[in-house]
Amino acid sequence: MRRPLIPVGSPFQLLLLAASFALAGYAGVRLLADDWFGVAVWFVGAALLHDLVLLPLYAAADRAVVRGLGAAGHREWVRYVRVPAALSGLLLLVWFPLISGMVDRRYRLGTGLSPDGFLARWLLITAVLFGASALLLALRLRRATKQRPPAVH
């Protein structure tokens, strides 16, 4: 008997995935009913944009920080840059429409609130994050200097 070209795999997994695709298909035809192309672009585009653009970008930025500080002999400082930068970037990513001001008009007209503070507040939070990080690093360096045995001098 010839072996099939591709093995079939677990029958349980096949049945489970068949059921999953059937349900996804039932909802999917309804999801795609109005503007199938636009929705498909958003659905697949979200995955591609994340996997092939966002993730490589932040990974490359992180690697640049690690290399840069490593070259300067301060690899252990990485966290003091990485943590505030990532947290600030996370806030920008989530609240980009409000921070960038792209929904200003609708926001003001709809809610009766001022859209002006978001950018300023994000910048202030970013300043606090980097400032706190710098402070922690400074404290750590001071402690390290004090603990260093005098013989080193």
Partner 1 sequence: MTRSPSSPGFWRSPLRGAWLTSALGVVLLGGITVLFVTGLVSYAAYNPNLSPVNDKTPDKGILGFYLFPWPTDPHWLYRLNQGLHVTLGITLIPVLLAKLWSVIPRLFALPPARSLAHALERISLLLLVGGALFEFVTGVLNIQLDYVFPGSFYTLHFYGAWVFFAAFVAHAVLKTPAALRNLRRLRDEEPSDLVSPRPDPPTVSRRGALWFVGGGSLLLFATTAGQSFDGLLRRTALLAPHGGADPGGGPSGFQINKTAAYAGIHAAETAEDAWRLVVTGRTGTVRLSRAQLARLPLHSAALPIACVEGWSTSDQWWRGVRLRDLAALVGYDDDPPDVLVESLQRRGAFRRAALRANQVADPRSLLALYVNGEDLSPDHGFPARIIVPAAPGVLNTKWVARMTFGDL
Q: Rank residues 54 and 141 by Cβ distance to partner 1 and give the closer one.
A: 54
Contact 115, 101 (CB under 8 A): yes
Q: How buried is 91 (Cβ within 10 angstroms: 0-12 exposed, 13-18 middle, 19+ buried)?
A: middle
The three-class DSSP label of residue 152 is helix
Cβ of residue 72: shortest distance to partner 1, in angstroms?
14
Instruction: Please name which of 58, 65, 57 lies closest in space to residue 81, comparing C-alpha atoms.
Output: 65
Q: Quickly list DSSP for 76-124.
A: GGHHHHHHHHHHHHHHHHHTHHHHHTTTHHHHHHHHSS-STHHHHHHHH
Cβ of residue 8: shortest distance to partner 1, in angstroms?
5
Cβ of residue 61: shortest distance to partner 1, in angstroms?
13
Cβ of residue 103: shortest distance to partner 1, in angstroms?
5
Cβ of residue 135: shortest distance to partner 1, in angstroms?
16
HSE-up (13 A, CA, CB side) for residue 21: 6
Q: Rank residues 16 and 139 by Cβ distance to partner 1 and give the closer one.
A: 16
Summarize as ranges the residues that interact with partner 1 (CB under 8 A). Answer: 6-10, 13-14, 16-21, 23-24, 26-28, 30-31, 33-35, 38-39, 41-44, 46-47, 50-51, 55, 59, 66, 75-76, 78-79, 82-83, 86-87, 90-91, 94-95, 97-99, 102-103, 106-107, 109-114, 117-118, 121-122, 125
Q: Rank residues 57 and 148 by Cβ distance to partner 1 and give the closer one.
A: 57
Q: Rank residues 106 and 148 by Cβ distance to partner 1 and give the closer one.
A: 106
Helix (H) or strand (E) holding 149: none
